[in-house]
Amino acid sequence: MANDKRFMAWKRHHKKRKSAKAKMKLYEQGKLAHDKLPALAKTFLKRKQRSLAKAE
């Protein structure tokens, strides 16, 4: 029972993460405006930019 609940939660969150990463890719290609990004994609983008700045 617990495994089923965990799987369903993973599935739901995974779908959101996957769509957010796809929107982030569209933004990086210039096909989507920043204000059209969902909140999760904005946090992914901030995290990515922070890691790129730290690497330099």
3-state secondary structure labels for all residues of 1-25: CHHHHHHHHHHHHHHHHHHHHHHHH
pTM exceeds 0.85 for this model: no
| pLDDT on residue 56 | 79
pLDDT for 30-47, tens place per residue?
999 999 999 999 999 999
DSSP annotation of 30 reads T
Q: Which residue shows structure tokens 């405006």?
A: 33
Spatial separation of the C-alpha atoms in residues 42 and 34, rounded to whole Å: 8
Q: Tell me which residue of 36, 14, 12 sits closest to 24, measured CA to CA.
A: 36
| pLDDT on residue 2 | 86
Asked if pLDDT for residue 1 goes beyond 90, the answer is no
pLDDT for 4-34, tens place per residue?
999 999 999 999 999 999 999 999 999 999 9
